[in-house]
Structure 1
Amino acid sequence: MSDELLPTVEVGGGDQARYSVIWMHGLGADGHDFEPIVPELRLPNDPAIRFIFPHAPVRPVTLNGGMAMRAWYDIVTLGGGAPQDAEGIAASAAQIHQLIEREGERGVPPERLVLAGFSQGGAIALHTGLRYPQRLAGIMGLSTYLPLADRFAAERHEANAETPVFLAHGQMDPVLDISLGRNSQQTLEQHGYRVEWHEYSMVHQVCFEEIEAISRWLQTVLTD
């Protein structure tokens, strides 16, 4: 892994930010993908929140015929039971650790920071946040799943055992079936996590009602 920080898109906050949201995009997208969602959240006092949208590294993706694209890890095939790129997942988690540490240097400690992501980016948010050794404000996964679930019980960190988790999924998602999201919700709840679960009549996307729910949840967790 490179010692260089991932390139990012930043919205709001500036030097006065009290809170941060690190939000990872999905496969083949980039950090600009969710940039337009910030004003749609209609958060009060939004200048106090710094939104950070990192660009995933460019790498070959087996699922797409080895085509190089922005991806947090390689994907061989979709669906439960498929082989998972544990090495790639760990490398991306380490890069997100670097961004969390930088926020600490800029005055935002982990307890005032949310890790979020969509699809593959949501998998990295869950994987990284639930293993992070310091308490985070919240962890959000949209249209995603808990990767390397068979290792979760052994690798999760107690620092985030009580951290609020937000999960949302489309009932007609043709990319990541909603069963993957529901199974992830159940796994977390079986381990005592506080999961706020939402499902919507949509495909692999984000809808207006979901944005409203995200806004309410962020306002709950981003408080002193």
Structure 2
Amino acid sequence: MAAAQKLQRCAVSQTGRHSASVIFLHGSGDTGQGLRAWVRDVLKQDLAFAHIRVIYPTAPARPYTPMRGALSHVWFDRHKISADSAEHLDSIESMCGQLGAVVQDEVGAGIPKIRMIIGGFSMGGAMALHLAYRYHPDVAGVFALSSFLNKDSVVYQVVRDGRGRPLPELFQSHGTADELVLHRWGEETGALLRGAGLDTSFHSVPGLNHELSRVELEGLRSWILNKLPPDSPASPTPDP
């Protein structure tokens, strides 16, 4: 894996004592600041918690093959946008290293991985699946909104190889009217992961296109709070 580099990021700080963190990855062509603003626009407020810090990293600009090599803020390259295409593993591996530094910064701030959730929208959700299940399987949970994995993804093999040991639960959500990242791609991803032994919940949002919705984000908020409840200041902190 390539050496980690510092990624730009913005964050919504907790309003009380910091005891958990969420890393929320944007879709292709967006930025961390852009995703935070989009979430705020949909919810009419930030996705904020009393004890959870929400971090929005920004992917560095890189040539993106589906855009004929034009620079774009994408987590990895794709040969084409298709579930049948092979994964561009070199770029995925490189970004797992850079995002790993974001995880380690939270560990350095006193947050063990079991008190972290990693997730994202669209390409950000696919990146979260690689990052969490391949390199940080001890996080509390993973979410993927309007996302899919390629049919031959190495993530499926990692999950199959992990049978018999706990892996973080996956929360998936996808709009039924999504024409860019088809709803069936998301369903197939969830079904393959479930068949490999992963605890996965898939939520269809009627009429939603390739976008975020209030219903979806409120469902995500409830799931996050279930996985990362407030802890007692007197409770022992697990080793990272």
Same fold (TM over 0.5): yes
Is 2:219 the partner of 1:219?
A: no
* Residue aligned with 1:139, SS: strand
* Residue aligned with 1:21, SS: strand
Give the total of aligned pairs.
224
Cα distance in 2 for residues equivalent to 1:160 and 1:72: 28
Note the alpha carbon deviations across 1:58-88, whole angstroms, 9 max, x for none.
1011111211011111123212212321111
| AA at the equivalent of 2:60 | P
Superposed, 1:90-129 pairs within 5 Å as 90-129=93-132
TM-score (norm. length: structure 2) = 0.84
Superposed, 1:143-162 pairs within 5 Å as 143-147=146-150, 149-156=152-159, 158=162, 161-162=166-167
Is 2:65 the partner of 1:59?
A: no
- The question of whether the paired residues in 2 share the 8 Å contact of 1:31 and 1:54 is answered with yes
Cα distance in 1 for residues equivalent to 2:183 and 2:52: 31
Is 2:175 the partner of 1:170?
A: yes
Superposed, 1:26-37 pairs within 5 Å as 26-36=27-37, 37=39
Cα distance in 2 for residues equivalent to 1:89 and 1:190: 24
Instruction: Give 1:150 deviation, angstroms.
Output: 4.0
- The question of whether the paired residues in 1 share the 8 Å contact of 2:4 and 2:97 is answered with no
Cα distance in 1 for residues equivalent to 2:172 and 2:99: 19
Cα distance in 2 for residues equivalent to 1:165 and 1:212: 16
Cα distance in 2 for residues equivalent to 1:22 and 1:210: 17
Note the alpha carbon deviations across 1:168-204, whole angstroms, 9 max, x for none.
1111111111111011110111122111211112110
Instruction: Go from structure 1 to structure 2 and tell me whether the alpha carbon gap of 1:2 and 1:57 turns closer, same or farther (over 3 Å shift).
Output: farther
Cα distance in 2 for residues equivalent to 1:68 and 1:193: 35
Instruction: Go from structure 1 to structure 2 and tell me whether the alpha carbon gap of 1:124 and 1:42 turns closer, same or farther (over 3 Å shift).
Output: same
| AA at the equivalent of 1:189 | R
Is 2:86 the partner of 1:80?
A: no
Identity, % of aligned positions: 25
* Residue aligned with 2:23, SS: strand
Instruction: Go from structure 1 to structure 2 and tell me whether the alpha carbon gap of 1:204 and 1:218 turns closer, same or farther (over 3 Å shift).
Output: same
What does residue 203 of structure 1 align with?
A: 209
- The question of whether the paired residues in 2 share the 8 Å contact of 1:164 and 1:221 is answered with no
Instruction: Go from structure 1 to structure 2 and tell me whether the alpha carbon gap of 1:56 and 1:80 turns closer, same or farther (over 3 Å shift).
Output: same
- The question of whether the paired residues in 2 share the 8 Å contact of 1:84 and 1:148 is answered with no
Note the alpha carbon deviations across 1:133-180, whole angstroms, 9 max, x for none.
551111000000124744234334749743111001111111111111
- Decide which moves more: 162-171 or 109-118: 162-171
- Decide which moves more: 183-192 or 5-14: 5-14
Contiguous gaps of at least 5 residues in structure 1: none
Contiguous gaps of at least 5 residues in structure 2: 232-240
TM-score (norm. length: structure 1) = 0.90
Instruction: Give 1:216 deviation, angstroms.
Output: 1.1
